[in-house]
Amino acid sequence: MKLQHNLGGLEGLDPVNTEPRVFVEDWEQRIFGIHTAMMALSNHLDKSLPDYDISQVPSTFDSFWSWAHLREGAENIHPFDYFRLRYYEKWLGGISGFFVEEGYITEDELNERAALILKDMADNKSTELPEGGDPAIDTQVEKYLREGDSPKRSTDITPKFNVGDTVRIKTISAGTHSRLPGNLQGRIAQVMEVYEESYTYFYETADGLGTPMPVYNLAFKAEDLWEQSLIEPGSIYYNDIFEAYIEPA
């Protein structure tokens, strides 16, 4: 993970945000809904579990979108901007950039629309939002919200490691997106559990994720990860790790 996603044990990061509300502004609910609809209409769902007949849904959105795409957008924000922007502002930037990259809207069109909305706000006017929609799209989004998109896969892959094995976390480049916490790289751990079946990440990363593989629950000694002053003596840290990130110790 990049710096801004690898803060475990670091000091001096005050002030801590204690905002109890999930959504602070009305637009944050909208951007959450847009992201959810994008996942529900993603073109990869014809290969998902459960299976969705996504080709029959009358949507003009025909791209691959998952949590990984959203995370990649956040991980590639400049660290200064990452700490400056609020949570859903990062979502808004990542989703807007994706729509531009995929050709659904141009950057000029996006800027013009943003300028109009800002002007309406300055004039205390409500911006007119699109109306309409298709009931079939609503049905698909509601189905996705209830049934989801499982990463679990039934395979005949034999795990490389067993409960009780001592393993080492690989030292790798995070690339544009990674699911490996940076402070675990090179550290020693013990396998506590080998999860049944295998898990896919939907999205191929440069550091080895994508195809289904075993996932392990690993135990790390806290003193191997953080300064003594930051931990309780004898404490254990657990993390679920994809097999691609593990090697024999």
pLDDT, one tens digit per residue, over 64-103 is 999 989 988 888 888 888 888 888 999 998 999 999 999 9
- Check pLDDT > 70 for residue 8: no
Residues 189-243 have pLDDT tens digits of 999 999 999 999 988 898 999 999 999 999 999 999 988 887 898 999 999 999 9
- In degrees to the nearest 10, what's the CA dihedral of 103, 108, 114, 119? -160
Query: Which long-range contacts link 10-17 to residues 24+ away (Cβ below 8 Å)?
Result: 11/230
Q: Give the distance from CA 183 to its chain's centroid.
A: 19
The pLDDT assigned to 14 comes to 65
Query: How many residues does the structure list for the chain?
Result: 249
Residues 126-142 have pLDDT tens digits of 888 778 889 999 999 99
Q: What is the pTM of this model?
A: 0.85
Could you tell me the domains of the chain?
3-150 (1.10.472.20), 153-248 (2.30.30.50)
Residues 19-29 have pLDDT tens digits of 788 999 888 99
CA 241 vs CA 22, 75, 85, 171: distances in Å: 28, 19, 29, 14
